[in-house]
Every structure is written in structure tokens, then in C-alpha cells.
Amino acid sequence: MRRYSYTRAKLTDRAFKYVALSFTAFALGVLVVLLIDIFSKGIARINWDFFRNLPSRHAEKSGIMTALAGMLSLLFFTIIIALPIGILAGIYLQEYGKKNRLAKLIEINISNLAGVPSVIYGILGLTLFVRILKLGNSLIAGALTLGLLILPIIIVTTREAIRAVPDSLREASYGMGATKWQTTSKVVFPFALGGILTGIILAVSRAIGETAPLLVIGALVYVPFIPEGPRDQFTTLPIQIFNWTTRPQAAFIVNAAAGIIVLLLITFLLNGIAIYIRNKWYKKIRY
């Protein structure tokens, strides 16, 4: 009897292993098919002109310069807005805030906000920033909307990074006679910075691919100019790609594929930086 159940457990074990393996293979397979499809269609289209040209009705002459510039400026402002608020809120909630029921409620709400569909943020941005604050369909309105979108992610990751700081460090710092501010700024924050930065870069890579909230707040499609300032109208790479896929001419699909490759590379690059920072930071800190 015992022997039987042993072989059975072994069988289950092996079966589970293969089931898991086949699901992983399936997920990877889909990704590989997608990547091969995109790369085979678009890679030949990527050249210097593709980065330098303005949008055009001729697929071969059309480029991503203004879309890329719009996307990068949008990210720049998004980071400027979301970063200080997110990090400070995270530090406050974890280090300073009282741990009572209200704090618990706030924590649950922030986690919930991280899961709200992005188009909802778009509608909020349209009403609040575009209409009430009269910012129009400008870069700054887009950046504020995306900032709101990634704020919960930054707060949650900041808290998690700070929570991972061992209490012994804090206690040692207090033991030396340091104040709370000194402890937070000189001990806790530097120790947590690696985790915080990783969270920020992941938040930014999420913001990069967003199209829906930007379309809602009124990002444009044909913008043959690089934005001059935060009040300027803009377009972004995902919107450009979206527009290309709706064109009747097949040549625009090639452009869309090339645009997707650029977007993928930027996302990969950001994720790579996140991993690099994390590894480097954790090696550096040795108490």
C-alpha cells in the first residue's frame, strides 16, 4: 500500500513537471512566433531615415522622429511628476505613518489603484487636467495622467523596498543617537534605493506602452513637430503604430512592425537597466 502511493506520488510529480513544462513552452512559443513575425516584417525597414523622418502618407518616407521625441518628453515629465510624490508617499507610509486602520485602508486602496484599467485614468485625466485645469491635450496633461497611472506602482515598490531594510540597521542608527530623519535619509533610503529604482523603471516601462489613456485625453496622430514645451501637443510611438495598423496600404504594416521593434528594444533596454542597477546595488551594500 505504501509502495503503491509512493509510485503514485512520483507519477504525479513527474506529470506535474511535464504539464508545467508544456505550459511554459506554450507561452514562450507564442512569444517566439510573435517576435519572429514582427522582426521578419519590420527589421528591414529600420534605418537612420526611419528615426529621422516625419510622419507621411507615403509609408516608405514615413518616420518616427516626432513620435519618439513625443514619447521621450512625455516620459521625462511623467518621471518628474510621479517620482518625488511616489517615493515620498512610500517613505511616509512605511516609516512615518501610524499603523492604524486608516493606514490599512489607504494601503488597500493604493494596491487597488495599481489594478485600475488605464483607460479610467484617461477619463480622469480628460476631466481633471484637460478640461478643469484647462491644460488642453498637452504634454503636461498626458504626463500628469500617466503620472497618476504609475504612482501606485511606485508607492507600492518603494514601500516594499523599505520594508526589506532590516530593523537591526534602524536600531543601530538610533543607538548611535541619530534622529529619525538622519536614519531615514542616511541608512534606510540608500539601502532601499536599488529596489526603489527597479520599481521606477518597471513603472516607466509600463507607461511607455500606454495608448488608451493618451487617446482619451486627445493625443494627436499627425504631429510633424517635436514638442517645444510642456504645453505643446504631442503624439507617441504606440499611437503612431496604432495609426499605421489602421491604414489600408500594406506597406504601413511594415512600418508598424518596425515601430514595434523600436518600442520593444526601448522596453528591453529599460528592463535591462533595472536588473543591472539591482544587481550592482545589492553588491555594493555590505554592512
Partner 1 sequence: MELRSKRVQIILIICIVSLVSCFKQYKGRISIDGSSSVYPITEAVAEEFRNKHDDIRVTVGVSGTGGGFKKFARGETDISNASRPITESEIKACTENNIGFIEIPVAYDGLAVVINPANEFIDYLTVEELKKMWEPAAQNKITSWKQVRATFPDVPLSLYGAGTSSGTYDYFTEAIVGKARSSRGDYTASEDDNVLVQGVSTDKGGLGFFGLAYFKENKTKLKLVGIDAGKGKGPIYPTDSTVRTGTYAPLSRPEFIYIKAQSANSPVVREFISFYLENAATLVKEIGYVPLPDEVYKLSYERFLKKKLGSMFVNKSTVGADLIKLMKENQ
Measured from the CB atom, the residue of 58 and 280 that comes closer to partner 1 is 58
Measured from the CB atom, the residue of 126 and 207 that comes closer to partner 1 is 126
Closest C-alpha among 77, 30, 15, 41 to residue 227: 77
Residue partners of 267: CB distance under 8 A and separation at least 6: 205, 208, 209
Question: Closest separation between CB of residue 144 and partner 1, Å?
Answer: 18
Question: Closest separation between CB of residue 129 and partner 1, Å?
Answer: 14
Measured from the CB atom, the residue of 126 and 277 that comes closer to partner 1 is 126
Question: Closest separation between CB of residue 264 and partner 1, Å?
Answer: 22
Residues 136 and 129: their CA atoms lie apart, in Å, by 7
Measured from the CB atom, the residue of 172 and 220 that comes closer to partner 1 is 220
| Residues of the shown chain interacting with partner 1 in the complex, contacts defined by CB under 8 A | 54-57, 136-137, 218-226, 228-229, 233, 243, 245-250
Q: SS3 of 217, please?
A: helix
Q: What is each CA distance from 215 to 25, 73, 137, 148, in whole angstroms?
A: 35, 17, 10, 16
Strand partners, 233: 138
CB 162 within 8 A of CB 192: yes
Question: Closest separation between CB of residue 50 and partner 1, Å?
Answer: 17
Question: Closest separation between CB of residue 235 and partner 1, Å?
Answer: 8
Report residue 126 as a C-alpha cell: 480628460
Residue corresponding to grid cell 501606485: 152
Question: Closest separation between CB of residue 62 and partner 1, Å?
Answer: 10
Measured from the CB atom, the residue of 53 and 94 that comes closer to partner 1 is 53
C-alpha 210 chain-centroid distance: 9
Report residue 161 as a C-alpha cell: 523596498
Measured from the CB atom, the residue of 112 and 185 that comes closer to partner 1 is 185
